[in-house]
Amino acid sequence: MNVLVDFPVKPEARPYLEAFGRGAFGRQKREPDWLTGYRKGSLARFAELGFPSRRSESWRYLDLRGLEQTPMLPAGRAGVSAATRAQLAEIGLAEVAHRLVLVDGRFAPELSAIEGLPSGVWLGSMAAAIAERPDLVRSGIETPSLDASRPFAALNAAFFADGFVCDIPPGTALDRPVEILHLSSGETGGSLHTRSLVTVGAGSRVSVVESFIGLGSYWRNDVVELRLAAGAELARVALVEEAAGAVHFGEVLATLGPASRLSGFVLLLGGRTVRHEATVRSEGEGTRCALNGAFLLSGRQEANILTAVDHAAPGGETREMFKGVAAGRAHGAFQGRITVRPGAQKVDAHQLSRNLVLGPRASIDTKPELEIFADDVKCSHGAAVGDLDESAIFYLCARGIPNELARRMLIEAFVLEAIELVELPSLRDRLLSRVVRRLAILEE
Amino acid sequence: MTDTARVLEIKNLHARLTDGREILRGIDLSVASGEVHAIMGPNGSGKSTLAAVLAGRDGYEVSEGTVTYLGRELLAMSADERACEGLFLAFQYPVEIPGVNNMYFLRTAMNAQRRHRGEPELDAGQFLKAVRAQLKLLDIGEDLLQRAVNVGFSGGEKKRNEIFQMAMLEPRLAILDETDSGLDIDALKVVARGVNQQRAPDRVIVMITHYQRLLGYVEPDRVHVLRDGRIVQSGDKSLAVELERRGYGVLGDAA
Q: How does residue B1 score in pLDDT terms, banded at 50, 70 and 90?
A: very low
Q: What is the mean pLDDT of residues A248-266?
A: 97
Residue B44 lies in a domain: yes
A397 touches chain B (CB under 8 A): yes
Residue B135 lies in a domain: yes
How many CB atoms neighbour CB A61 within 10 A? 22
- CA-CA distances (angstroms) from residue B7 to A290, B35, B156, B174? 57, 10, 30, 11
Residues of chain B contacting A354 with CB distance shorter than 8 Å? none
Q: Is the pLDDT of residue A2 over 50?
A: no
Q: How does residue B254 score in pLDDT terms, banded at 50, 70 and 90?
A: very low
Residues of chain B contacting A397 with CB distance shorter than 8 Å? 56, 78-80, 83
Q: How does residue A143 score in pLDDT terms, banded at 50, 70 and 90?
A: low
Residue B255 lies in a domain: no
Q: Determine the residue among A390, A397, A435 to mutate to test chain B binding: the one whose Cβ has the most chain B Cβ atoms within 10 Å.
A: A397
* Interface size between A and B, measured as CB pairs under 8 A: 78
Q: What is the pLDDT of residues B97-146, one digit of tens each?
A: 999 999 999 999 999 999 999 999 999 898 998 898 888 878 788 888 89
Distance CA B243, CA B20 (A): 31
Q: Between chains, do B95 and A399 touch, taking CB under 8 Å as contact? A: no
Exposed/middle/buried for residue A21 (C-beta within 10 Å: 0-12, 13-18, 19+): middle
CATH number, domain of B77, equals: 3.40.50.300
Q: Between chains, do A400 and B116 touch, taking CB under 8 Å as contact? A: yes
Q: Determine the residue among B95, B103, B111, B177 to mutate to test chain A binding: the one whose Cβ has the most chain A Cβ atoms within 10 Å.
A: B95
Q: Is the pLDDT of residue A314 over 70?
A: yes
Task: Tell which residue, A246, A192, A240, has the closest CA to residue A215.
Answer: A246
- The shortest C-alpha distance from A421 to chain B (Å) reads 13
Residues 6+ apart with CB under 8 A from B204: B7, B8, B31, B32, B33, B34, B35, B36, B37, B172, B173, B174
Q: What is the pLDDT of residues A365-414, one digit of tens each?
A: 999 999 999 999 999 999 999 999 999 999 999 999 999 999 999 999 99
Residue B164 lies in a domain: yes
Structure confidence at residue A24 (pLDDT): 58
Q: Phi and psi of A254, rounded to 5°?
A: -125, 140
Exposed/middle/buried for residue A107 (C-beta within 10 Å: 0-12, 13-18, 19+): buried
Rounded to 5°, the CA angle B130-B131-B133 comes to 70
Q: Between chains, do A400 and B109 touch, taking CB under 8 Å as contact? A: yes
Residue B41 lies in a domain: yes
Q: How many domains does chain B have?
A: 1
Q: What is the pLDDT of residues B16-57, one digit of tens each?
A: 998 999 999 999 999 999 999 999 998 889 999 999 999 999
DSSP A101: E
Q: How does residue B187 score in pLDDT terms, banded at 50, 70 and 90?
A: confident
Smallest Cβ distance to B80: which of A397, A412, A413? Answer: A397
Q: What is the pLDDT of residues A79-121, one digit of tens each?
A: 888 888 998 888 888 777 799 999 999 999 999 999 889 999 9
Handedness of CA B70, B76, B77, B78 (dihedral sign): positive
Distance CA A367, CA A388 (A): 21
**Mean pLDDT across chain A:** 93
Smallest Cβ distance to B169: which of A395, A396, A399? Answer: A399
- CA-CA distances (angstroms) from residue B125 to A171, A188, A400, B129, B161? 45, 50, 21, 6, 21
CA nearest to A404 within chain B: B80
B107 three-class SS: helix
Q: Is the pLDDT of residue B253 over 50?
A: no
Structure confidence at residue B133 (pLDDT): 84
Task: Tell which residue, A147, A100, A153, has the closest CA to residue A128.
Answer: A100
Whole-angstrom Cα Rg for chain A? 21
Work out whether strand A261-270 and strand A233-241 pair parallel, antiparallel, or are unpaired.
Answer: parallel
Give residues 198 to 227 of A whose Cβ lies within 8 Å of B: none
| Identity of the residue numbered A118 | P
Structure confidence at residue A166 (pLDDT): 97
Q: How does residue A75 score in pLDDT terms, banded at 50, 70 and 90?
A: confident
Structure confidence at residue B251 (pLDDT): 61
Q: How does residue A1 score in pLDDT terms, banded at 50, 70 and 90?
A: very low
Top pLDDT among A141 and A126 is at A126
Residue B70 lies in a domain: yes
A71 three-class SS: coil
Whole-angstrom Cα Rg for chain B? 18
Q: What is the pLDDT of residues A195-207, one digit of tens each?
A: 999 999 999 999 9
Structural domain range at position B72: 3-250
Structure confidence at residue A147 (pLDDT): 61
Smallest Cβ distance to A400: which of B83, B98, B148? Answer: B83
A74 three-class SS: strand
CA dihedral B134, B156, B33, B53 (to 10 degrees): 130
Residue B55 lies in a domain: yes
CA nearest to B106 within chain A: A399
Q: Phi and psi of A243, rounded to 5°?
A: -65, 155
How many CB atoms neighbour CB A415 within 10 A? 26
Q: Is the pLDDT of residue B90 over 70?
A: yes
Residue B204 lies in a domain: yes
CB of A352 closer than 8 Å to CB of A322: yes
